[in-house]
Amino acid sequence: MKPEKLLITASDILIERGKQRDSPKGERSMLPAIQAFNSITKHNISESQGWLFMVLLKCVRTQSGEYSSDNFIDMVAYAALANEAAFSEHTHDDPGLTVTKCKHKGGTNELRNK
């Protein structure tokens, strides 16, 4: 898969997950997940560290079994979510989730940015 296609696919999936979860911010399930994890384990990992864990999980999965572009697509999406969380953690600011249109050969893609 060409890099551009992988990035577009990851973006499409993030947008679709937001629609499936009926959340204005899209797929943002990590914060409640790490809050529960921290409560149970007495650890104190951040939201960005939770997304980083998911990136590493996908990295490991690329090394076992058959090739699957899903691992790489998810890696890109999780890295983008980790970036968003890290920005918020370091600036204590909302990274901005306004929807803009990005045209590409396959059609139009909605991207969330500030």
The DSSP code for 64 is S
pLDDT category at 94 given cuts 50, 70, 90 is: low
Max mean pLDDT range (13-17, 23-27, 78-82, 105-109): 78-82
Instruction: Note the pTM of the prediction, 2 decimals.
Output: 0.76
The whole-number pLDDT of residue 100 equals 45
- Residues 6 or more apart whose CB falls under 8 angstroms from that of 27 comprise 14, 17, 18, 21, 81
pLDDT category at 71 given cuts 50, 70, 90 is: very high
In a 10 Å sphere around its CB, with 0-12 CB exposed, 13-18 middle and 19+ buried, how is residue 61 labelled?
Answer: middle
